């Protein structure tokens, strides 16, 4: 009987070869699937810009990866721009529409990169209180009103940051000193609006956000609006201040709440809505004088309008809250539960279409635009 001394060795070699070929094939399939998956992110912003940032958590050389796919994106720039164009409520002339769409190769080539190249990720937040004069010297690139545009490319996003404000100057200074460098690194075409009510009037955060939105649009054709509490400081510049297809809750993880959501439907703190979203939901309710309820009311409006809530990844959407005294008991909105109960019935008649206010001052300061207004609380609550 013939015995093959080398048969075992041959069999081992064959098994080894099969394993190697299988691994090569598996790697090829993974790469193919990854390419297809991320290309879909680039073509369709319905996933939100924050998800493109999230990819960076799983792909260390994400910048190189996106560069390789840049040609794919450029072929779809004109299509995406026309599909995502938000038209005003009144008919626009053709000139206004065309200027919002990149029309030629030069325009496309001059667009800022999909992934801003100078993002650093996790940030050490500044706590020192700089004077406005010191900030003006620190950020000489800012235009009047806290305006900024990237100097070497055309921004993909026109963003207004709306900050409802009352008597917290130190917090405002800290916020501005932290926020401006983040927004500049994100290559945004932006401005910061600080909206304040003339006293004596009970503070109304929601109406100030409606007013900030309205006044910002008088200055520029902003398409994205970030509604931002003055006491929240971003801890990661990869939490992009842009607007995806659906309204986005940005302040997902706050240190005060141990970086966890207090409840699932929360929409307060920092949130992002497009001009189209604001028109569709009729803005915020104007009736929430005092603390509490206005964000839950907006959440109801979002649901009624058929929109869905989106959130940035918790690893990116981290914020530090500046410590401050608690609101007094008489500042809490005692009517908030009654207002919330009837929120669905009021949504179509209480909001942007019923907004009434008087601008006392509007000043374009070096680091922000100040909008100082007077509202009639009794008249608003009766309407």
pLDDT, tens digit (0-9, with 9 covering 90-100), for 162-200: 999 998 999 999 999 999 999 999 999 999 999 999 988
**219 pLDDT band (50/70/90 cuts)?**
very high
Please tell me which residue in 61, 94, 326, 379 is annotated as part of the active site. 326
Told to judge if 169 belongs to the known catalytic residues of this protein, a careful annotator would answer no
Catalytic residue check, 370: no
> What percentage of the chain carries pLDDT values higher than 90?
56
Provide the pLDDT confidence category of residue 237 given band limits of 50, 70 and 90: very high
pLDDT (average), residues 211-236: 97
pLDDT bin (cut points 50, 70, 90) of residue 282 is very high
Give the pLDDT confidence score for residue 138 in this predicted structure: 96
> Given 3.90.550.10, 3.30.590.10, 3.30.1330.120, 3.40.1790.10, which CATH number is that of 117-382?
3.90.550.10
pLDDT at 36 > cutoff 60: no
Question: Among 107, 168, 245, 321, which one carries the catalytic annotation?
Answer: 321
Annotation marks residue 147 as catalytic: no
Catalytic residue among 184, 196, 231, 350: 231
Q: Which residue in 184, 196, 215, 295 is the catalytic one?
A: 295
Active site residue 294: yes
User: Can you tell me the distance from the alpha carbon of 70 to that of 48, in angstroms, rounded to the nearest whole number?
Assistant: 17
The reply to whether 291 belongs to the active site is yes
pLDDT tier, 238 (very low <50, low <70, confident <90, very high otherwise): very high
Tell me the pLDDT of the chain averaged across its residues.
79
Report whether pLDDT(371) > 90. yes
Which pLDDT score is estimated for 344? 87
Alpha carbons 124 and 177: distance in angstroms, whole number: 12
Q: Is 278 a catalytic residue?
A: no
pLDDT at 9: 72
- Rounded to an integer, the average pLDDT of 294-317 is 92
Q: Domain spans of the chain?
A: 1-115, 117-382
186 φ, ψ (degrees, to nearest 5): -80, 0
13 pLDDT more than 50: yes
Q: What pTM was computed for the model? A: 0.72
* CA–CA gap between residue 297 and residue 293 (Å, rounded): 6
Task: List pLDDT tens digits, range 58-95.
Answer: 333 333 333 333 333 333 332 222 233 232 333 333 22
Residue 353 confidence (pLDDT) above 70: yes
- For residue 53, name the pLDDT band (cuts at 50, 70, 90): very low
Catalytic residue among 169, 324, 327, 381: 324
The whole-number pLDDT of residue 58 equals 33
| Catalytic option among 291, 296, 298, 299 | 291
């Amino acid at each position: 009987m013939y015995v093959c001394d080398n048969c075992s060795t041959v069999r081992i070699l064959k098994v080894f070869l099969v394993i190697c070929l299988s691994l090569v094939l598996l790697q090829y399939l993974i790469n193919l699937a990854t390419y297809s998956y991320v290309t879909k992110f680039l073509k369709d912003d319905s996933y939100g810009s924050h998800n493109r940032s999230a990819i960076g958590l799983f792909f260390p050389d994400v910048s190189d990866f996106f560069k390789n796919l840049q040609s794919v994106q450029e072929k779809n720039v004109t299509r995406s721009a026309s599909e995502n164009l938000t038209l005003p409520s009144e008919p626009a002339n053709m000139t206004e529409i065309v200027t919002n769409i990149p029309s030629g190769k030069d325009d496309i080539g001059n667009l800022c990169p999909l992934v801003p190249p100078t993002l650093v990720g996790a940030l050490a937040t500044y706590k020192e209180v700089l004077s406005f004069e010191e900030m003006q010297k620190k950020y000489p690139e800012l235009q009047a009103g806290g305006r900024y545009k990237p100097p070497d490319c055309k921004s993909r996003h026109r963003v207004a940051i709306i900050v409802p404000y009352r008597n917290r100057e130190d917090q405002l200074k800290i916020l501005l000193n932290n926020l401006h460098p983040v927004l500049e690194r994100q290559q945004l075409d932006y401005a910061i609006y600080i909206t304040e009510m003339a006293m004596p009037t009970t503070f109304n955060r929601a109406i100030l956000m409606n007013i900030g939105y309205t006044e910002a649009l008088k200055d520029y054709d902003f398409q994205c609006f970030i509604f931002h509490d003055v006491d929240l400081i971003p801890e990661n510049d990869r939490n992009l201040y842009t607007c995806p297809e659906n309204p986005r809750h940005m302040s997902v993880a706050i240190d005060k709440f141990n970086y966890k959501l207090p409840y699932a439907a929360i929409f307060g703190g920092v949130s992002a809505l497009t001009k189209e979203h604001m028109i569709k939901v009729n803005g915020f309710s104007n009736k929430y004088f005092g603390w509490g309820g206005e964000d839950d009311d907006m959440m109801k409006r979002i649901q009624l309008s058929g929109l869905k809530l989106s959130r940035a990844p918790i690893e990116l959407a981290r914020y530090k809250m500046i410590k401050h005294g608690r609101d007094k008991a008489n500042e809490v909105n005692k009517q908030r539960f009654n207002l919330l109960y009837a929120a669905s019935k009021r949504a179509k008649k209480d909001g942007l279409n019923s907004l009434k206010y008087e601008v006392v001052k509007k000043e374009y300061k070096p680091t922000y635009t100040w909008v100082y207004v007077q509202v009639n609380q009794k008249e608003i609550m009766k309407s």
